[in-house]
Chain A
Amino acid sequence: SYELTQPPSVSVSPGQTARITCSGDALPKKYAYWYQQKSGQAPVLVIYEDSKRPSGIPERFSGSSSGTMATLTISGAQVEDEADYYCYSTDSSGNRWVFGGGTKLTVL
């Protein structure tokens, strides 16, 4: 079965740049999406189609993809950005969708 691999945790100080990676064999041909989930809340879409930002998402959130790796970058991370972040994509067939295991971002 298809898998997306994320680091379990990333830690930065406020104002620093946080980068969260997601690797998957189909990413060269399939878009990556990123969701933020704060404790006890439903997920929120922060990046779609590798690098597009939905309305209402701060400009400090950006995405990129190269080869088999997609990256979510938070430039000037703030304490309120502490959350779990999940990448989401599909296998080469486009029929099986998966989430990465999630990355806990700590900002302190």
Chain B
Amino acid sequence: QVQLVQSGAEVKKPGASVKVSCKASGYTFTSYGISWVRQAPGQGLEWMGWISAYNGNTNYAQKLQGRVTMTTDTSTSTAYMELRSLRSDDTAVYYCARLRVVGHYMDVWGKGTTVTVSS
């Protein structure tokens, strides 16, 4: 079955970077993309961007431009999301999700990775 397994929880200090991984299985990795979505405590979902696993093309949310980088490793069917210059308001659960190339919507989600930014 299709599965996305994310890396474990992280605690970071303000100004540091975090890199979250998302390992896919159960489907042809390069036939889809990977989206990243975050959710701050008690808040709604926020779209962060997506990456094509086929050609590496990316599309980032404007507010995160310059701080976020999404990459993939097709040899291991793993996607990565790196967020730099962390602030306290980056504290959130970060989800990866399989992105349908036609329609650009997410149909299968990982369980989420909690990132806490605190001094």
Chain A residues packing against B (C-beta within 8 Å): 1, 31, 33, 35, 37, 42-45, 48-49, 54, 84, 86, 88, 90, 94-102
Counting chain A CB atoms within 10 Å of each CB, which of B45, B47, B110 scores highest? B45
The A-B contact count (CB < 8 A) is 54
Task: Determine the distance from Cα of A31 to Cα of B105 in the docked complex, in whole angstroms.
Answer: 10
Quote the shortest CB–CB distance from B16 to chain A (angstroms): 26
B contact residues around A54 at 8 Å (CB)? 107
Q: Is the CB of B107 within 8 A of A48?
A: yes
B87 within 8 A of A: no
**Are A42 and B107 in contact, CB atoms less than 8 angstroms apart?**
no
Binding site for A on B (CB under 8 A): 37, 44-47, 50, 59, 61-62, 95, 97, 103-107, 109-112
Nearest chain A CB to B58 CB, angstrom units: 11
Contact residue among B45, B62, B106, B107 (Cβ-Cβ distance under 8 Å from A96): B62
User: B61 near A44 (CB under 8 angstroms)?
Assistant: no
Whether B107 and A45, one on each chain, are in contact in the complex, defined by CB atoms closer than 8 angstroms, is yes
28 A-B contacts, Cβ less than 8 Å apart?
A1-B62, A33-B105, A35-B106, A37-B45, A42-B95, A42-B109, A42-B111, A43-B37, A43-B45, A43-B95, A43-B106, A45-B107, A48-B103, A48-B107, A49-B103, A54-B107, A86-B44, A86-B45, A88-B106, A90-B104, A94-B104, A95-B59, A96-B61, A96-B62, A97-B47, A97-B50, A97-B61, A101-B44
